[in-house]
Structure formats: C-alpha cells, structure tokens
Amino acid sequence: MRAAMVVLGLVLGGLALEVALRLAGANPVPLSKRYLIAVGHQPRLDYHCYPTNPHGDFAPAPDVSHGAWRLIDFAKREYPLTALRQTPWVVEYEYSQQGTRDRAYGGPPAAGVLRIGGLGASFAFGEGVPLDKSLFRKMESRLGPNCEVVNAAWPGMKTAEMVALLPQLIQAYGCRRVLVVFTPNDILLTDSLQQRMNVINDLVNTRDLALQAHLAGKWYGHSWVLTSLMLSRELGAVAGQTKQWYLDCYDPRQNADNLERMRESIAALAAQRDCPVALVLYPLLIDLESGYPLTPIHELVGRMAREAGLPTLDLLDVFRGRRTSDLWVYATDHHPNSQAHALAAEATVSWLRTDVPGFLEIEDNGR
C-alpha cells in the first residue's frame, strides 16, 4: 500500500508539473537564435537574435517600429515582430557594397600598408560576435596601423571556393598576403554523407525546430516533463553520431574524391607565389577539456598542408584543456565567442611574426 501510494504521488506530482509547465508556456527544448532582417536596406543589414546575453557580446535589439523588418528562424518560418521580446539580444551584420562583412576597400592600400586577405567560413566570418570582436579585426588591431585584414570569409565557404576567390582578393582588393582559416566542416560531401548530416546538432548549432521534431518521435515526446529529463541524453546521443559523421567525411573509403579535391585546393593555395598564403586550423568547440574527437582530421589536413609546403598553425593547441562552454557564443550556438577570437588572434599574429618569415614584411613598393 505504501509503495502504491508513493507511485500514485509521483504520478500525480508529474501530472501537476506537466500542467503547470504548459500553462506557463515553458518549453523543454532550448530556444535557438532567430534572424532579424532589415528589408530593403542598402547595404544589407541583419541581426542574429538570442534569448540572453551570457558573455556580454550582444547588444539590445534595434528599434523595429520604423522601416520594414522580418523575423524568421533557421527553417525560414516567419514570426511577428512582437516575438522579438523572446530573443531581445542581438549581433549586427552590416555588409559593404562589396558584399563582405567589413568596410569597403577602394583601390590598393596606401604606401607602407600591407593588406592581408582573410578567408574562411563562419568561424572566420565572426558569426555570433560583433565585427570588432571577430578574428580578423582582432588580428588587425594587434598588427598595428601598417596592416589591414580584409574579412572576405562567408558562412559555409569551402576550401575550393577560397581558392577561387584568390584572384579577386589580389586584383580587386590589392591583398599581397592571404590567411585561410580552416574548420573541419569545410570539406565537400558526397550525396550519401549529405543525407546523413544531422540537422539537429552539427557540433556548431543546436536547432530547436529540428530537435522538437526529433523528440516528438520518441515514446515520451508528448510529455514536457519526460522530454526535459531525457533531453541531455538525446543531445549526447546526437553529438556522438555527429562526431562519427565528421570522421567519416575524411575517410577515403567514404569521401575519396572530395578528399582529393581538398588536397588539390591546398596545393593551389601553396602555389601562390605573388601572394603568399598561410593556413590556420580552427577546431570545432567540442570536448576541449579532454579527448577532442576530431584530432584525426587536424592531423590529416595538417599533413596535406606540410606536403604542399603551406605554412600551417593548428589552434587546437591553443584551446585544448579550456572549458569548452566558456568559448561558445551561446548554449545552442557553438561558434567562438569574443574570448575565443581574442585567443585565436593572439596566437595567429604571434605565429606569423615568429614562424612565417616574410609574411608580414612590407616592401618598399607598397607590396
């Protein structure tokens, strides 16, 4: 009888908690960022919007009472502007007429100034942090007034696309050096690998809508209480599958053609004689405390670069042993925050000065 009463009490308590959570509008799935777009603004202007401001990198949302605005999520689902109160902290992205998240560059640099082109995907782009706290801007600040670093990175950019952009950086921007930032998700994929890519957690973004759909298919998915209890376990399982997926992307048995394309791209970067290129490997921010799971990827790409003669810095040595969550933009957005970018910039500038002879040298003719 006592056991029955305990069970009954737990069931009734659980039901009461379930009702209370639903009435309060709580949701066991953490809210991811949303996107606020200034419609028709020239040059392009938009914002990534977050529920809180854990590291002080974000600013209050702009005034949306004037002009035309759209508020959407990762799946392009539209929200009323009043929903901005759920994500009232933002990062601004303003783009130049040249299409970069940077100031516009008109013509070659001034005499005595070295202009460095910066290429990469979202980590180099500075997704999740203000422009002045991003990697290339931090580097520019450390290098001093005689160096300019162009932020020509773009989320999702692959290594082959970076090679294709080199002529534009040299001719249109007047860059005489290029720094390429590589992350493990920069490789091209086969159709099979693309289909396997988990949309819930790519070790960078946890997407709330996809996670909700995933959990709804579980036996406990209609209970907010049980979903809350099981959420950590589910996210851990998804992360484990995603780590293996990354390793499979660099397995010659599963992605041989694209690995060869990557090798060719690295060789093309190394072959630039008039505009020397250096490579920085930026780790994904996962399990840095111990047992970083993507070390084999860093070793493979580093070996390709060494064979091609491309100067390479692996930032894993800078981040290893740090508490991973301290470096995240947000709990559901694992792009590097301002602290991570500052560490990366300091290490990269120091490496260029000491280990890459001539890279930062400013020639008499302005080159």
- Binned average pLDDT, 10 residues per bin, the chain of 367 residues: 58 49 52 90 93 96 94 91 96 94 90 96 97 97 96 94 94 95 95 82 70 62 61 73 93 97 96 93 95 96 97 97 96 95 98 96 62
| pLDDT for the residue numbered 214 | 62
Residue 264 structure tokens: 């060719």
* Burial readout 279-293 (b: 16 or more C-beta within 10 A, e: otherwise): bbbbbbbbbbeeebb
Q: How far apart are CA 237 and CA 212, in angstroms?
A: 15
Q: How far apart are CA 241 and CA 203, in angstroms?
A: 10
* Residue pair 225/18 in contact by the 8 Å Cβ criterion: yes
* Residue pair 79/37 in contact by the 8 Å Cβ criterion: no
Tell me which H or E stretch contains 186. Answer: none
Residue 188 structure tokens: 């091209």
As beta bridge partners, residue 147 has 114
| pLDDT for the residue numbered 298 | 97
* Residue pair 134/125 in contact by the 8 Å Cβ criterion: yes
Estimate the crossing angle of helix 295-308 against helix 252-270, to 10 degrees.
40
Q: How far apart are CA 120 and CA 344, in angstroms?
A: 14
| pLDDT for the residue numbered 202 | 76
Which residue reads 């580097």 in tokens? 139
Give backbone dihedrals phi and psi of 182, rounded to 5 degrees, phi first: -110, 135
Q: What share of the chain is helix, strand, coil (3-state, %, to 5)?
A: 45, 15, 40
Q: How many CB atoms lie within 10 A of CB 271?
A: 12
| pLDDT for the residue numbered 149 | 97
Say which amino acid occupies 332: T
Q: How far apart are CA 275 and CA 175, in angstroms?
A: 8
